[in-house]
Structure 1
Amino acid sequence: MFDNLSDKLDKALHVLKGHGQITEINVAETLKEVRRALLDADVNFKIAKEFTNKVKEEAMGQNVLTSLQPGQLMVKLVKDELTELMGGEAEGINLSGTPSVILMSGLQGSGKTTFSGKLANYLKTKKNKNPLLVACDVYRPAAIDQLHVVGDQIGVEVFSDRGNTDPVAISEAGIAYAKANGFNVVIIDTAGRLAVDKQMMNEIATIHKAIQPQETLFVVDAMTGQDAVNTAKSFNDILNFDGVILTKLDGDTRGGAAISIKSVVNKPIKFIGTGEKMDAIDVFYPARMAERILGMGDVVSLVERAQEQFDEEEARKIQKKIAKNKFGFDDFLSQIQQIKKMGSLKDLMGMIPGAGKALKGLDIDDDAFKHIEAIIHSMTPEERSTPTSLNASRKKRIAKGSGTSIQEINQLLKQFDQMSKMMKMMQGGGGKKMMQMMGAMKGMK
């Protein structure tokens, strides 16, 4: 997420992060590089210039040059200003109606239909709501079928009227159906076009006026950069929408839309899409995003995701097994499953401070655990519970069954042994000792 921008900002701030002499000249040079990095990320020139001017003003006002840690203070100022530029505080979704009506708008290809499903899934699983999806895209071939497939995936009902070509009538009928059948949220998926046109704008304005939604959301593909911002402005002029949803943030996105959009339309980014799965949806936190862009990670979001997947009873069982040296590959497999449920590995790595930089150039994909799972699934129950029983002939059989090599099996066994020792150390109150060891190793580099 925003890899190129993160790299360029890191290089720009590198001089100031060091302990060398900080002068007004290299502060100005650094901010010039910061502005260049923002422009390369497709941030509007005016916004980029205003941003660096504000940071410079703040820097001079806080006596950065004479502070004990000028580099860190400067990074903090950039982070604070980025946070402010992206909206400052996270904005919630308005669910005040009975039912609450949410109107989805955006261009074709922005991921609107898929995100309607993600939002329904989020409201169902995280907010204990009973949502209804309403298919109002009467133009795109198979759009209604697509929404039905999405609804089936997440166990949410979809209201559609295939013979009807009037989206206003369909949306009104959908709301009436929701009221009669106990649904408390209605998400209306409208038609998109390949470009902004008069017919499309008139149609969505008519739907908006007829149903008076509690929340109107504009869905936009983050990878379109500055074009996304311009499209948002066109939609906002007609709809006066309540918030923005940025999709495809897991792609090689430049970040311009996320940084510029709030400033241009003065509407908050409410949610972001971070992958293809139905649970790949996050509330947008400007401060956390600013930290990620600056390579500081996002530990709070990482902990929140871990807590969502955390099974307290399972954790207690594993603690007992570790204490008795009975932690086996079945337990290891269950830990892998929990990690996979937290989201894409690349996204998770981006939440760990410094990990993105350390792992730069490595191809991290969601299949990273595939060969480990194949090896474990090729073991007998006895071998999984007693890894020490794996002799040469057993390894040969497992390698053949899993399509891997004996070398890969040996590597997994070594990693498993190291992890078991580390977990044992953490169990026995050796956490402090381990941190001291890690600190000493770091000093040896």
Structure 2
Amino acid sequence: MAFEGLTERLQNAIAGLRRKGKVTDADLRETMREIRLALLEADVNFDVVKTFIKTVRERATGAKVLEGLNPAQQIVKIVDEELTKMMGEEATPLNKSAKIPTVIMMSGLQGAGKTTTVGKLALKLKNEENARPLLIAADIYRPAAIDQLEKLGDDMKIPVFSLGTDVNPREIVKQGLALAHEQHNDYVFIDTAGRLQIDQDLMNELADIKDIAQPDEILLVIDAMTGQNAVQTAEGFDERLNVTGVVLTKLDGDTRGGAALSIRAVTGKPIKFVGQGEKMNDLDVFYPDRMSSRILGMGDMLTLIEKAQKDFDEKQAEEQIKKMRENTFDFNDFLEQLQQVQNMGPIEDMLKMIPGMANNPALKNINVNPKDMEHIKAIVYSMTPAERQNPDLLNPSRRRRLASGAGRPIVEVNRMIKQFNEMKKMMNGLMNGKVSPQMQGMMDMMSGGNMPGMPNMGSGLGGKISSGLGNLAMKQMARRLKKAKKKRK
């Protein structure tokens, strides 16, 4: 996941301050030096780092901070605020036309994930706004580019306009826009051509397409793994096209984060979306404040809750909360929750959104194989309807039958059932206000402390779910539902 190295370096730099009752000028200089090195190692633009360090030092210097009751926290707060400013302070929405269609022109170099991003963003608008987008295949040069876009459109049930590879891209855009007006599409996405590097022919073609389409939004798709080269690419495209926003892709890859931290500061162009996965729903709005919190290891609870809410509708959540409260939560409900957790992404990444868990040594023991989920499902699918509804029926002989049916060791079946029962007990207590030692550990973890027994979480996937995401997401969901009900009343 992106920023892990930077997060670790920044946390180490600040850790020394937290151990001191009072921060001296020498302490501050040493911390600033470590932060500077951490940012440079993350491939952040040198001038950006220089300005950032100067600003933080100026704000942190002075009796009010250095002699405060908790100077370390004040300095962390300043670093957080300046990181957020560096990345743009707040999320920037899409530019939308007063009349349909809103035309979005996508640009970028080959290999950045431009065509896939076209599909992701179109699907996001279709799902969230019930929009009717049209995709225009204007990349006639890259092999199979049109086929890729048509395949994405077919899978998402979104129409794609193309005229093959023998028609000039300018003509394709003209006819595609005419069709969009005729069909009253809400959005038009123009998938333009890319190159391995910026060249004059590419820029001339893109400039012509811009003149023809008069787009409301020109999004530049950039591979986050290219580091400072991403900033140079952004400057090159912006010079000719006047880019309105940036989409960073592959932020879940082995990237040091320099692009995300540099682009806005150098070009002034906002990062509007980030891609953090290969699935078509793995595209998120970019929130600078949330990204700063994650970089500093302070978690990202809002994003975690939003991910949960995408898969838990209100009616279903109320039913599950009621079952937890009445202690009637069974394996059928567990299967549904398991599927929803899978839809949200890797468990390791979600746990890192919990405050205090980024770079927690306990998480390094967690290496969740996606097949583990399927093994658990196989065990549950081997149960009879009665056994799913009443887990108390699962005596030793029935468990041996489950192990045989799922092709898993009996010890794995026993462990999964035990962890299910523990999770059920914890959730019931949580819903009814009973705080057990385990649940108190969860509260400690949410407030940034270390959860007792965390290193043992690697012993089984059910334990990971029950200890982390399941309770947390459902608790937050319960709160949100109560607020929603009050508003309706």
> Are residues 60 and 367 of structure 1, via their aligned partners in 2, closer, same or farther at CA, if it must alter by over 3 Å?
farther
Aligned partners of 2:246 and 2:272 also within 8 Å: yes
Identity among equivalent positions (%) equals: 50
- Of residues 58-67 and 264-273 in structure 1, the stretch that sits farther from structure 2 once superposed is 58-67
Question: Does the 8 Å CA contact 1:112/1:219 hold for their aligned counterparts?
Answer: yes
CA spacing shift, 1:426–1:99, aligned 2, 3 Å: same
* DSSP 3-state at the match of 2:66: helix
Cα 1:444/1:38, change in 2 over 3 Å:
closer
Indicate the residue corresponding to 1:401 in structure 2: 405
- 1:61-101, Cα deviation, whole Å (9 max, x unpaired): 57321011111111111110000000111100012142111
2:150 matched residue in structure 1? 148
Deviation larger for 361-370 or 340-349: 361-370
Aligned length in residues? 445
Q: Which one of the candidate residues 232, 240, 243 is aligned to 2:242?
A: 240
Give, as a single letter, the amino acid of the residue that structure 1 aligns with 2:96: L
The alignment's C-alpha RMSD in Å is 2.1
Q: Determine if the alignment matches structure 1 residue 183 to structure 2 residue 185.
A: yes
After TM superposition, the structure 1 = structure 2 runs for residues 196-211 of structure 1, keeping only pairs within 5 Å, are 196-211=198-213
Cα-to-partner distance string for 1:291-313 (whole Å, 9 max, x where unaligned): 00111111111112222222232
Structure 1 residues 261, 440: CA separation in 2 closer, same or farther (over 3 Å shift)? Answer: closer
* Residue 426 of structure 1: aligned partner: 430
Please tell me whether the aligned partners of residues 124 and 281 of structure 2 are also in contact (alpha carbons under 8 angstroms). yes
Task: Tell me which of 360, 367, 376 is aligned to 2:364.
Answer: 360
Partner SS for 2:253: coil
Return the alpha-carbon distance in structure 1 between the equivalents of residues 451 and 368 of structure 2. 28
**What are the equivalent positions in structure 2 for 1:249-264 lying under 5 Å apart?**
249-264=251-266
Q: Which runs of 5+ in 2 are unaligned?
A: 454-489
Change (3 A) 1:280 1:443: closer
- SS of the equivalent of 2:176 reads helix
For the residues of structure 2 that align with 1:153 and 1:347, how far apart are their CA atoms? 27
* 1:291–1:297 contact (8 Å) kept in structure 2: yes
* Contact map agreement 1:425 1:434 (CA 8 A) in 2: no
1:434 positional shift: 6.9
Q: In structure 2, what is the equivalent of residue 378 of structure 1? A: 382
Where in structure 1 are there 5+ consecutive unaligned residues? Answer: none
For the Cα contact (< 8 Å) 1:133–1:158, is it kept in 2?
yes
Per the TM alignment, residue 367 of structure 1 is displaced from its structure 2 partner at its CA by: 4.3
Structure 2: distance between partners of 1:271 and 1:178? 24
Assess if the C-alpha contact under 8 Å between 2:220 and 2:234 holds in 1: yes
Letter in 1 for 2:418: K
The secondary structure found in structure 1 opposite 2:167 is: coil
Shift of 1:333: 0.7
1:66 aligns with 2:70: no
Q: Tell me the residue number matched to 2:12.
A: 11
Aligned to 1:116: 118
TM-superposed deviation, 1:429: 2.6
* Post-superposition CA distance 1:251-271 (Å, at most 9, x none): 121100000001111110000
Q: For the residues of structure 2 that align with 1:443 and 1:43, how far apart are their CA atoms?
A: 33
Separation in 2 of the partners of 1:189 and 1:179?
A: 18
- Residue 30 (structure 1) aligns with: 31
Give me the whole-angstrom Cα distance separating, in 2, the residues matched to 1:248 and 1:233: 20
Tell me if structure 2 keeps the 8 A contact 1:292–1:298: yes
The residue number in structure 1 matching 2:472 is none
TM-score by length of 1: 0.95
- Residues 5-32 of structure 1: per-residue CA shift (max 9 Å, x gap): 1111111111112234421111111111
